[in-house]
């Protein structure tokens, strides 16, 4: 079967909106020769296809020869990018790069002073928008001009440029170290999830302490602070230190509130900051702050900055959808949350060329949890099977808890013959992934024993397991189990004979009243 994701030109064309397609046609036909008319024909042919199929493409377009196709596709790809470049005037990187191009053109024409004026203006714009790498490129170019030509542009020019260059290099060094640390911590989380045992905790702490550079907080710029806060954010999240995670996600978002123009320049980073802040409030069960942060995110989603590019719209969809699902988890309104699923599935299909597998897996797991919480274990199993059967090494923690929820869903359905096999299979998998905590061990023991319990002994057994798990909730190395699965809520539902969402709803209302009383 043809694969629509294998051809980069096809992907690019399918990512264009109507305005961008119209702009390309105008751009390509401005001085159209025979070759340009052919690439427009190729563009139209690819635009009409649902999936990329080279054989079908050549069959339906006889004027395009197979031996020409590779060169034509390369030319078309370049022309589309060139046409997009003309309408991407709001991006600060493109504006600054254009100024560098202008400075180079003026220099090549022998107009050195004009070139220096452009570079000086470029540096001012770059400083204003925190774009330090462009400052460095401008300074390097200025030094080259001053070294080769006597411009007399200002007194003590050499000393000033040397000092400026040293300051920028120092800042870039710190940005490099901190961004490396933030990326490494995030990569660890994507591969492994939360710290699973004391060995993980010690390894993460040692790595963080070794790679955290010395810094003077008063002299940190925007990006140094951003990557510092991100590093601590992932560090706290991996260690399940939820208060540290909250403090640094709040600093992350506050940084953008202090420099609001950066919301447009670094929209993706702002969105991720909001996502993590909302997640922190969710994990801390802080309903009031959760709703406040969600309101901020929803306002951003309809703002100009929130719709500045396809990339921003995709990230907004991903993280805002997760936040809205979490709202229903928090409130215990699982059945109402099911109304979100059709739109989410539609967007997942629309953005399938752009979304990484990790994001899709997260959605499958959260959708499965919605169905399970609403009492539809069969549909929950369908989504969990998508995760279990997806052969990939990302998020082993998600793979483990998908299997555990899959096991519990079959328990709910009374599939006891299948359960004996599943218990062994899931236990082996979680042990292999080094993901067995005391909570999971106790759940496995209970399910095994429950087969032989008479109905009158089942409720007391549920109560004993619940009480045992409640004593483990304060242990950081056990908390990930409660973050991925509301096992206590499920046990309460079995004890009281009511749906899980009723337990969640009651807990939410009690917590809301308590927070209101504390505020008063």
Does the pLDDT value for residue 413 go beyond 90? Answer: yes
319: Cβ–Cβ under 8 A, 6 or more apart, which residues? 271, 272, 274, 275, 297
512 vs 175, residue with greater confidence? 175
Does the pLDDT value for residue 429 go beyond 90? Answer: no
Does the pLDDT value for residue 89 go beyond 70? Answer: no
- Tens-digit pLDDT profile for residues 116-129: 999 999 999 999 99
What pLDDT shows up at residue 432? 83
Closest CA to 348 of 338, 337, 359: 359
For the entire predicted model, the pTM comes to: 0.84
What pLDDT shows up at residue 149? 73
- Tens-digit pLDDT profile for residues 217-249: 778 999 999 999 999 999 999 999 999 999 999
- Tens-digit pLDDT profile for residues 456-469: 899 999 999 999 99
Residue 191: pLDDT band by 50, 70, 90 thresholds?
A: confident
Give me the half-sphere count of Cα atoms (radius 13 Å) on the Cβ side of residue 67: 0
- SS3 string of 440-471? HHHHHHHHHHHCCCCHHHHHHHHHHHHHHHHC
> By the 8 A CB rule, do 85 and 34 touch?
no
What pLDDT shows up at residue 478? 83
Does the pLDDT value for residue 393 go beyond 80? Answer: no
Kindly provide the b/e burial profile for residues 4-22, where b requires at least 16 CB atoms within 10 angstroms of the residue's own CB. beebebbebbbebeeeeee
Helix axis angle, 242-258 to 267-283, nearest 10°: 150
Does the pLDDT value for residue 392 go beyond 90? Answer: no
Place of tokens 């694969």: 3
Most confident of 81-85, 252-256, 452-456: 252-256
The domain limits of the chain are 8-87, 92-154, 155-238
Tell the burial category of 54 from Cβ atoms under 10 Å away from its Cβ (0-12, 13-18, 19+): middle
Q: Which of 111-125, 257-271, 315-329, 420-434 has the lowest mean pLDDT?
A: 420-434
What pLDDT shows up at residue 434? 76
Closest CA to 388 of 377, 370, 401: 401
Q: For the chain, count helices (H), then strands (E).
A: 27, 0
- Tens-digit pLDDT profile for residues 344-379: 999 999 888 888 888 899 999 999 999 999 999 999
């Amino acid at each position: 079967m043809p694969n629509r994701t294998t051809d980069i030109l096809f992907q690019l064309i399918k990512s264009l909106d109507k305005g961008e397609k119209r702009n390309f046609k105008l751009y390509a036909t401005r001085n159209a020769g025979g070759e340009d008319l052919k690439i427009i024909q190729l563009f139209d042919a690819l635009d009409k296809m649902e999936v990329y199929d080279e054989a079908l493409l050549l069959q339906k377009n006889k004027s395009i020869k197979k031996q020409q196709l590779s060169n034509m596709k390369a030319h078309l790809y370049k022309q589309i990018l060139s046409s997009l470049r003309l309408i991407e005037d709001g991006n600060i990187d493109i504006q600054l790069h254009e100024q560098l191009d202008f400075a180079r053109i003026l220099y090549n024409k022998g107009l050195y002073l004009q070139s220096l004026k452009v570079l000086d203006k470029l540096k001012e714009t770059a400083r204003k928008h925190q774009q330090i790498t462009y400052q460095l490129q401008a300074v390097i170019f200025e030094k080259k001009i001053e070294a080769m030509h006597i411009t007399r542009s200002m007194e003590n020019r050499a000393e000033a440029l040397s000092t400026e260059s040293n300051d920028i290099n120092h800042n870039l060094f710190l940005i490099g170290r901190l961004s490396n640390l933030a990326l490494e911590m995030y990569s660890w989380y994507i591969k492994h999830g939360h710290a699973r045992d004391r060995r993980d905790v010690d390894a993460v702490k040692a790595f963080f302490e070794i790679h955290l550079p010395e810094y003077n907080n008063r002299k940190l710029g925007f990006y140094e602070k951003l990557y510092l806060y991100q590093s601590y954010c992932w560090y706290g999240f991996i260690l399940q230190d939820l208060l540290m995670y909250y403090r640094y996600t709040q600093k992350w978002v506050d940084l953008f509130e202090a420099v609001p123009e950066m919301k447009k320049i670094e929209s993706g980073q702002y969105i991720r900051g909001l996502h993590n802040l909302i997640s922190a409030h969710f994990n801390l069960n802080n309903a009031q702050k959760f709703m406040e942060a969600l309101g901020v995110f929803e306002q951003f989603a309809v703002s100009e900055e929130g719709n500045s590019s396809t990339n921003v719209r995709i990230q907004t969809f991903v993280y805002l959808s997760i936040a809205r699902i979490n709202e229903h988890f928090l409130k215990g309104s699982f059945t109402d949350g099911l109304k979100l699923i059709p739109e989410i599935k539609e967007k997942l299909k629309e953005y399938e060329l752009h979304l990484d597998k990790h994001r899709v897996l997260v959605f499958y797991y959260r959708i499965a949890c919605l169905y399970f919480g609403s009492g539809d274990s069969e549909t929950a199993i369908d989504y969990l099977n998508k995760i279990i059967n997806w052969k990939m090494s990302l998020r082993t923690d998600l793979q483990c808890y998908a299997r555990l929820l899959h096991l519990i869903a079959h328990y709910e359905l009374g599939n006891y013959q299948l359960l004996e096999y599943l218990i062994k299979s899931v236990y082996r998998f979680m042990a292999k992934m080094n993901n067995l905590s005391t909570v999971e061990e106790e759940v496995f023991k209970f399910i095994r024993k429950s087969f032989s319990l008479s109905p009158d002994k089942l409720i007391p057994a549920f109560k004993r397991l619940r009480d045992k798990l409640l004593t483990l909730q304060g242990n950081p190395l056990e908390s990930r189990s409660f973050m991925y699965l509301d096992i206590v809520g499920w046990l309460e539902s079995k004890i009281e004979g009511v749906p899980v969402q009723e337990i969640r709803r009651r807990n939410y209302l009690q917590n809301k009243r308590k927070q209101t009383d504390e505020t008063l």
